[in-house]
Amino acid sequence: MTSVPRVLAVFDELLRDATPDRRGALWQLSEQGRELDANLVRLPPGGEVGEHQEDVLDVLLVVVAGNGRIEAEDVSLELTPTTVAWLPRTSRRALAAGPDGLICLTVHRRRPGLTIRSAAAPALSHEGGESPCMLDRVCPGCGRLSPDPEPVFCSRCGERFAEA
C-alpha cells in the first residue's frame, strides 16, 4: 500500500467513455489496504433499488448526475446533482432513479472480510457479508435487486450485469 495521495478517477472521463447502455457500477475503489469502499453507480431511467436495511454501515450518497429519490419510512427525499444524502445504518430505504436516470457515488467504511475462527473463539460482531448499498446487484435492464451476491445475468429479464 502506498501512502501518497493520488487521483483514482475523473468522473467526467468515466461518464464520457462509458457507453450509454452501461449500468450498475461504473467505477469501484479497489486499492489494497484501504479502509473505505466507494462505487460510482448508474441506475437507468426509472430503475430502482428495492427497500432494504443496512445494519452495520452508514452510507454517504453523492448525486453526480440525473435525479431520483430516496424513500425511507414516511420520508421522500429528492435527489438532484450535487445532493449529498446520509443513509444511517439501521435505516430502511429504497432508491429510485428519475426519468433521466441517476448517477451517484456511494461511500462507506469498508466491511471486514469473512474470517475463519475456531468454535472456542468469541463471535465477531461484523464478519463481512454483502455489499452495504447493494447497488452493484441492481439489474441494469429491469432494475430488479438480485439475491445473488455476484450476479452475472438477471433471473427476471436476462440482462447481463456489468463486470467488476
pLDDT tens, position by position, 50-71: 998 888 889 999 999 999 999 9
pLDDT of amino acid 53:
87
Q: Are 88 and 136 in contact (CB under 8 A)?
A: no
The cell 452495504 sits on which residue? 132
Q: Which helix (H) or strand (E) holds 71?
A: strand 59-72
Residues with Cβ within 8 Å of 27's Cβ and at least 6 positions away in sequence, in order, are 9, 11, 14, 39, 40
0.85 exceeded by the pTM? no
pLDDT of amino acid 135:
74
Beta bridge partners of 105: 40, 62
Q: Are 79 and 69 in contact (CB under 8 A)?
A: yes
Which residue would you say has higher pLDDT here, 30 or 130? 30
Q: Which helix (H) or strand (E) holds 107?
A: strand 92-109
Cα–Cα distance, 135 to 12 (Å, whole number): 20
Cα–Cα distance, 43 to 130 (Å, whole number): 19
Question: Domains in the chain, please, with CATH?
Answer: 11-113+125-137 (2.60.120.10)
Of the chain, the end-to-end C-alpha distance in Å amounts to 21
What size, in residues, is the chain?
A: 164
- What are 96-140's pLDDT values in tens digits? 999 999 999 999 998 765 555 555 544 444 444 444 567 777 887
Residue 160 grid cell: 447481463
Q: How far is CA 98 from CA 46, 54, 65, 68, 79, in A?
A: 5, 23, 11, 4, 9
